Amino acid sequence: MFKSEIYKNAAKMLSGNAIAQMVGLLFYPLLTRIYSPDDFGLLNLFLSIGGVLLIVANADYHYAILLPKSDKKAAAVWQVSALCSLGVVVLCGLSVFFRKPIAAVFKAPGLASVYPLLPLFVALSAAWMLLNYWLTRCKRFGAISTYQVTQNLSNALLKWGFGKAGFLQSGLFVSTILGLVIALVISIISTFKSWKSILFRVDRRQIRLAAKRFARFPAFSLPRSLVNNLSGNLPFFLLTPFFGVAEMGFLGMGFTLAFRPINMISTSLYQVFFQRFAESVQNRKRVMPMFRKFVGRTFLVVVPGFALLYWILPWLTEFLLGKGWEQTGEYIRLMLPWIAMVCAGSCISFLSDLFQKQAGMLAVETAYLVLRAAGLAIGIALKDISLAIFLYSLSGVLVIAGQLLWYRKMIRDYEKGLEPL
């Protein structure tokens, strides 16, 4: 196993991601004793808005960076994505003039004061996404891990420092931006040789060809990604005006504690698997064995582990975060079946892009959004936030189960066209 390239690359990503995520988790017991649920609720709303804008920024062209065999053609895709990002950041900057009406929509007046940081957040995050996928193409997984550790460590230290200094609400937002700046600068300097010779050799013809060749990404993958991100942030957009930012602080912390450990593994495996699957498809090799082993072994580990976790969650969250945060544990309990499905589905969600099935994935994500919105709407109508979260999670279980079956069919159809071994 340790001689296999895919496991070596996964180990690099996983070790860095593990350290990065653990740093964040270890600091949360300190931060929850400094900042209030209201502070975290406002931060979650800010990040949700920023996350949707970030999806639009690169027009999903960054996923196509891994696909061409030629580095020259891949660089052209990188440049197309960078141009798209620049345009979105400019528009985001103009939206600052409407920050008060935007804050009024969510009944969160504090959002207006921090909204001017949003264009900077989108610009820095979009820049990292571009660099991230180029480094993935170059198999510089160690450099990606360095960014993750640096960003999480600096972010956590700055939040703690600002909080101790008395800059409570503003400290959460300024530290988020500074953490991105520090990690991005270090990554750009340390990986300069990997990208300097090709990414800034502009060939307008290649850029036009790349934009046309991979037009399915902004046409189908981008709407799908946008719908997916909007769907994931839907609780904060819909529930905030009805249940307040404090309740969103509990829910947001639930998402953080539940998905940081998941992301610790899935983000690493996603990029390594994407590179490995793409390479195998380019060379006309089978990928079904990898798919089956991953999905089967994931459920073998997750199901019994989550069954145990269900019973100790309320006590565990109070112990970790302090008195008054028990509600976070109750919310995580409602989401456990959905989180288990995410463990299996998130690492291989690139398959629709790999096999150019973006249109089908857009239909899936749209149905997912409708189901989630319906679940939240029922909870809002009955004034029951727990019911809203449960129905939101149940829709995730059903949709991801269907996606896994669809991924299996994609691979079978691909392998039918291979030459007999």
Dig out the tokens for 138 from the structure.
């170059």
Weakest-pLDDT range from 99-108, 142-151, 268-277: 268-277
Helix H, strand E, coil C: the string for 281-306 is: HHCCCCCHHHHHHHHHHHHHHHHHHH
Cα 336–chain centre separation: 18
pLDDT tens for 213-258 read 888 788 877 887 788 788 888 999 999 999 989 899 999 999 988 8
Determine how many CB atoms are found less than 10 A away from the CB of residue 304. Answer: 10
Q: What percent of the chain has pLDDT over 90?
A: 28
Q: What is the pLDDT of residue 104?
A: 92
At residue 419 the predicted structure's pLDDT band, cuts being 50, 70 and 90, is low
Query: In this structure, what is the dihedral angle of CA atoms 417, 418, 420, 421, given to the nearest 10 degrees?
Result: -150
pLDDT of residue 55: 86
- Phi-psi region for residue 19, left (φ > 0), alpha (ψ -120 to 50) or beta? alpha
Closest to 363 (Cα-Cα) out of 216, 227, 231, 218: 227
Higher pLDDT, 220 or 135: 135
Structure-token pair, residue 418: 């291979």
Q: What pLDDT was estimated at residue 352?
A: 85
Q: What is the mean pLDDT of residues 55-83?
A: 84
Distances (CA, A) of 233 to 60, 91, 110, 255: 18, 21, 19, 10
CA dihedral of 186, 192, 198, 199, whole degrees rounded to 10: 20
Phi, psi of 58 (to 5 degrees): -90, 0
Overall average pLDDT of the 97-121 stretch: 92
Q: For residue 286, give Cα distances in angstroms to 46, 55, 269, 272, 294.
A: 43, 31, 18, 17, 15
Over the chain, what is the mean pLDDT? 85
Q: Which residues contact 320 (CB under 8 A, 6 or more apart)?
A: 28, 29, 257
Of 24, 13, 1, 42, the closest CA to residue 251 belongs to 42
- Closest by CA to 172, choosing from 236, 111, 124, is 111
Tokens of 91: 């528009």
Does the CA dihedral 315-319-322-325 come out positive or negative?
negative
Reported as a pLDDT band with limits 50, 70 and 90, residue 1 is very low
- pLDDT tens for residues 165-218? 877 768 889 999 999 999 999 888 888 777 766 666 777 888 888 888 888 788
Q: For the residues 369-382, what does the mean pLDDT come to?
A: 94
Per-residue pLDDT reduced to its tens digit, 2-39: 455 656 666 666 666 677 777 777 888 888 888 888 88
The answer to whether 75 and 194 have CB atoms below 8 angstroms apart is no
Nearest to 207 by CA among 381, 52, 68: 68
Rounded CA separation 308/310 (Å): 5
Distances (CA, A) of 89 to 198, 232, 293, 319: 24, 22, 41, 41
- Rounded average pLDDT over 132-140: 83
Asked if 120 and 174 touch (Cβ cutoff 8 Å), the reply is no
Residue 394 or 208, more confident: 394
Q: How far apart are CA 376 and CA 277, in angstroms?
A: 36
Question: Taking Cα atoms as reference points, which of 247, 209, 188 lies closest to residue 41?
Answer: 247
Q: Which residue has the higher pLDDT, 413 or 142?
A: 413
d(CA 117, CA 135) in angstroms, rounded, equals 27
Whether the pLDDT of residue 74 is over 90: the answer is: no
Q: What is the pLDDT of residues 343-371, one digit of tens each?
A: 888 888 888 888 878 778 878 888 889 99
pLDDT digits (tens, 9 = 90+) for 299-351: 888 888 888 888 888 888 888 888 888 889 899 999 999 998 998 888 888 88
Q: Give me 18's structure tokens.
A: 């593990």
